[in-house]
Amino acid sequence: MNRYQQIKLAKQIGKWALIAVIMVYAIFPFYYAVITSLKPSSELFQVDFWLSSVDFGNYAQIFSQDSFIQAIGNSILVAISVVFIALLLGVTASYALGRVRFRGRTTVMLVVLGVSMFPQVAVLSGLFEVIRTLNLYNSPGGLILSYTIFTLPFTVWVLTTFMRQLPMELEEAAIMDGATPWVTITKVFLPLMWPAMATTGLLAFIAAWNEFLFALTFTLTDSQRTVPVAIALISGGSQHELPWGPIMAASVTVTVPLVILVMIFQRRIVSGLTAGAVKG
């Protein structure tokens, strides 16, 4: 083996070592959570890197609690409603922003961008008042309303990027056929936008599913909580005796569907994320 080959080999080894480190770093915490959740409580406090036996006790325990099942139901209800509303309002708005030139368009774009960068805490007290006035405190409705503050700007922003990419001549053809803007959106653009809508909807769903601050503040009783709050509030006898087994079981339960979704729609998610951030 000459010097050149040695260097090449060393580079190969270095590359694969780096890949291995990154893989372990990315996956291990989740893997460890899965292992912990599948251990019987007697073995919880000994450190293991793999399972010697599988025990579903922790899962049985969390699913025997009504409040956890309710929390999953609430999370699903809230996330799906939010996605639906954001897409509904977002599609028409993004048509206006992406395809019509008018005065004030840049201003509206800046407003949308500005709202998406809002610190949630800054609206907390005002929103609290709005929600209480509308009698939505401690109910999914309040969360649905408040979540539009981050899902709607994001949806509009990403869909506008996609709208801009649709060919001009297609819209002109529709105009020649006598289509109004509304007909153009519903009959011509929407059928072509499904992939983009799916991506955006998925990203909005994840954001809503993971939200914590509003859910913590605007709900009061166990039956109205969403999953992140429910998990955060699982507690044992004292600060130092957290029931780690059930916590990990709950964590894995709400994460697995997301991880599977992300794996399936990997490509779309990447394109949606980059469309939201880097325009072009």
Partner 1 sequence: MANVNLSKINKVFGSTHIIKDLDLEVGDGEFVVFVGPSGCGKSTLLRLIAGLESITDGDMHFADDLVNDLPPRERGVGMVFQSYALYPHMTVYENMAFGLKLAKTDKQSIEQRVMETARILQLEELLQRKPKELSGGQRQRVAMGRAMAREPRILLFDEPLSNLDASLRVQMRNEIARLHHRLGSTMIYVTHDQVEAMTLADKIVVLRDGRIEQVGSPQTLYQQPATKFVAGFIGSPTMNFMPAELLGGDGNGCRVSTPGLGELALPQDASGKSPGAELSLGVRPEHLRLAEAEGENAFEIVNVEYLGNEVYVYLEPKAGDTLLIHRSEAPSRWHLGQRVALVPDIEQVHLFDATDKALAVNGAKAAA
Partner 2 sequence: MSTPATESASQVGARSTKGGYRGTKVRRQRVRAAWMFLIPMLVTLALVAGWPLARTFYFSFTDASLSDTAGAAWIGIENYLVFDDGNWYGILTDPVWWQSVWNTLFFSVVSVSLEVVFGIIVALLLNAEFKGRMLVRAAVLIPWAIPTIVSAKMWAWMLNDQFGIINHLLMALGLIDAPLAWTADASLSMWAVIMVDVWKTIPFVALLVLAALQMLPKDCYEAAEVDGIHPVKVFFRVTLPLITPALLVAVIFRLLDALRVFDVIYVLTSNSTNTMTMSIYARQQLVEFQDVGYGSAASTLLFLIIALVTVLYLYLGRRQLGVDE
Closest CA to 85 of 190, 205, 182, 214: 205
Whole-angstrom Cα distance, residue 68 to residue 62? 7
What residue has token string 């899902």?
151
Whole-angstrom Cα distance, residue 64 to residue 46? 26
For partner 2, which residue of 1, 117, 168, 176 counts as binding (CB under 8 A)? 117
For partner 2, which residue of 121, 176, 178, 191 counts as binding (CB under 8 A)? 121
Residue 96 near partner 2 by CB under 8 A: yes
Q: Are 62 and 243 in contact (CB under 8 A)?
A: no
Q: Are 199 and 40 in contact (CB under 8 A)?
A: no
Residue 198 near partner 1 by CB under 8 A: no
> CB of 66: closest distance to partner 1 in angstroms?
45
Question: Which element (helix H / strand E) includes 18?
Answer: helix 3-37
Whole-angstrom Cα distance, residue 71 to residue 210? 13
Whole-angstrom Cα distance, residue 231 to residue 233? 5
Q: Are 128 and 217 in contact (CB under 8 A)?
A: yes
For partner 1, which residue of 72, 183, 216, 258 counts as binding (CB under 8 A)? 183
Please say which residue, 31 or 194, places its beta carbon nearer to partner 2.
Answer: 31
Of residues 219-238, which lie at the interface with partner 2 (CB under 8 A)?
A: 227-229, 231-232
> CB of 187: closest distance to partner 1 in angstroms?
8
Residue 182 near partner 2 by CB under 8 A: yes
For partner 2, which residue of 70, 83, 153, 189 counts as binding (CB under 8 A)? 153
> CB of 165: closest distance to partner 1 in angstroms?
14
Please say which residue, 179 or 198, places its beta carbon nearer to partner 1.
Answer: 179
Tell me which residues touch partner 1 (CB under 8 A).
Answer: 167, 169-170, 172-179, 183, 187-188, 191-192
